[in-house]
């Protein structure tokens, strides 16, 4: 009989404990968690095996495990656990550690999840944008901090592109977005290759393809199979469709700017419904939905109960960033309208500062998206696709 030796990765175990899995060592392998989980597959069910591997420090097994991402953290397993080991929170912690491990470059994955680095990371866009805005003083058309010192009016009011020109936004955010997409692609490819090595020859017949998986993700179908998860379903809908509406408004604004020669700010007038008011409504509805998603998540994460999810620094940091983006976006718009109607230079400067903060946090979210919980959108999708290939979803599909 062959025997094998497992060499625990102690640093990996410490990372799991630090990211919210500190009850891991209470587990005594009764398998209650795997039995009560409504989405766990019949073949090699989770989260029992993940709890074993986490206790052993079996890092390679966990990083190549698609089941890690098939858990929706409804916390039914934590509620029913007789030892209070909270497997749902351990699975969440394992996903955070996995994101850091998949990250390219890897040091950014560790930094984004470390509270000691938050102020450093947020300072990067502050310094970058702050410096670029100093370049407007010597320009033929004054902008940046020179515009801030003496706000000018256009189209009857103050407008943000006099402060931060569109070309400057493109020059900063287009390369940043490209870097984020590249980081996602490299991290996703690394995850896919790990799973291929762990499940050789598993890529033959898939139970559904990418379109089916994307449909399931957009509809949040698997959330409804968990226990009391309605609040999480609606909160996730808030994030998904809030960002979707804001992206739609941004795309429409660009089309109107360069396709129809209609420079922003888009008019609020009902006479300009399709080239202004409609997109203003969609954008503001998106911001409200996004704020609602944040509020629902915060209320649930601060509630007192055994089913309450544990929140690490990275969870709260992402919520803070998203909330600030939504609030400053709406706030900058309202302040601009107010200052324009009142003709107040002081209000215009407050609007400019609010807009600057908005851009700083948008930059932060885009650049660091591959290293925070937003990475779930990519890694869970990959795991769902691969889970179909290796038959991990038969219990879900039969439900």
- Cα separation, 217 vs 381, in Å, equals 8
CB atoms within 10 A of CB 301: 15
- The reply to whether 353 and 306 lie within a common domain is yes
Is residue 84 assigned to a domain? Answer: yes
Give the domain-ending residue among 81, 103, 125: 103
- The reply to whether 282 and 177 lie within a common domain is yes
Buried b (16+ CB within 10 A) or exposed e, 248-277: ebeebbeebeeeeeeebbbeeeeeeeebbb
Q: Any bridge partners for residue 167, and if so which?
A: none
pLDDT value at residue 55: 92
Is residue 281 assigned to a domain? Answer: yes
What is the residue range of 47's domain? 10-103
Is residue 328 assigned to a domain? Answer: yes
pLDDT value at residue 306: 61
Please give the share of the chain, as a percent, with pLDDT higher than 90: 49
- The reply to whether 113 and 183 lie within a common domain is yes
Question: Pick from 27, 24, 6, 4: which is nearest to 14 by CA?
Answer: 24
Give the domain-ending residue among 62, 84, 103: 103
Is residue 4 assigned to a domain? Answer: no
- The reply to whether 297 and 382 lie within a common domain is yes
- The reply to whether 96 and 113 lie within a common domain is no
pLDDT value at residue 154: 80
pLDDT value at residue 189: 94
- The reply to whether 298 and 332 lie within a common domain is yes
pLDDT value at residue 206: 47
Those residues of the chain that have pLDDT short of 50 are: 1-2, 203-207, 393-399
Is residue 293 assigned to a domain? Answer: yes
Give the domain-ending residue among 103, 124, 139: 103
- The reply to whether 341 and 247 lie within a common domain is yes
DSSP E strand boundaries for the chain = 153-154, 157-158
- The reply to whether 238 and 149 lie within a common domain is yes
- The reply to whether 114 and 126 lie within a common domain is yes
Give pLDDT tens digits for 324-372. Answer: 999 999 999 999 988 888 778 889 999 999 999 999 999 999 999 999 9
- The reply to whether 162 and 249 lie within a common domain is yes
pLDDT value at residue 391: 59
How many domains, the chain?
2
Question: Pick from 326, 316, 320: which is nearest to 288 by CA?
Answer: 326
- The reply to whether 207 and 286 lie within a common domain is yes
- The reply to whether 295 and 393 lie within a common domain is yes
Is residue 3 assigned to a domain? Answer: no
DSSP state of 308: P
Contact 325, 35 (CB under 8 A): no
- Cα separation, 136 vs 152, in Å, equals 14
């Amino acid at each position: 009989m062959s025997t094998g030796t497992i060499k625990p990765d102690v640093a990996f175990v410490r990372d799991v404990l630090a990211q919210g899995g500190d009850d891991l060592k209470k587990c005594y392998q009764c398998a209650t968690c795997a039995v009560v989980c409504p989405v766990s597959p019949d073949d090699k069910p989770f989260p029992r095996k993940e709890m074993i591997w986490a206790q052993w420090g079996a890092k390679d097994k966990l990083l190549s495990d698609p089941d890690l991402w098939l858990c929706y953290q409804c916390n039914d397993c934590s509620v029913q656990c007789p030892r209070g080991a909270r497997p749902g929170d351990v699975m969440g912690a394992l996903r955070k550690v996995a994101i850091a491990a998949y990250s390219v470059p890897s040091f950014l994955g560790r930094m984004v999840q470390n509270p000691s680095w938050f102020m450093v990371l947020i300072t990067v866009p502050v310094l970058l944008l702050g410096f670029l805005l100093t370049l407007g003083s010597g320009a033929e058309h004054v902008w940046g901090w020179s515009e801030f010192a003496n706000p000018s009016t256009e189209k009857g009011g103050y407008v943000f592109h006099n402060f931060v020109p569109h070309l400057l936004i493109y020059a900063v955010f287009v390369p940043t977005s490209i870097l984020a997409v590249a980081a996602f692609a490299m991290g996703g490819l690394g995850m896919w290759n790990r799973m291929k090595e762990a499940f050789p020859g598993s890529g033959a017949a898939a139970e559904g393809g990418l379109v089916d998986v994307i449909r399931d993700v957009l509809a949040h179908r698997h959330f409804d199979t968990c226990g009391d998860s309605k609040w999480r379903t609606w909160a996730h809908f808030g994030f998904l469709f809030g960002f979707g509406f804001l992206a739609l408004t941004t795309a429409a604004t660009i089309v109107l700017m360069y396709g129809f020669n209609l420079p922003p700010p888009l008019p609020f007038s009902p006479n300009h419904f399709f080239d202004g008011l409609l997109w203003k409504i969609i954008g503001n509805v998106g911001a409200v939905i996004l704020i609602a998603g944040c509020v629902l998540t915060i209320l649930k994460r601060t509630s007192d109960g055994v089913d309450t999810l544990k929140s690490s620094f990275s969870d709260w940091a992402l919520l803070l960033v998203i909330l600030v983006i939504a609030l400053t976006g709406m706030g900058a718009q309202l302040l601009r309208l107010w200052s324009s109607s009142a003709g107040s230079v002081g209000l215009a400067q407050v609007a400019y500062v609010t807009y600057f903060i908005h851009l700083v946090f948008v930059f932060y979210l885009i650049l660091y998206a591959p290293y925070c919980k937003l990475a779930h959108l990519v890694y869970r999708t990959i795991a769902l696709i691969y889970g179909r290939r290796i038959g991990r979803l038969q219990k879900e599909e039969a439900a």
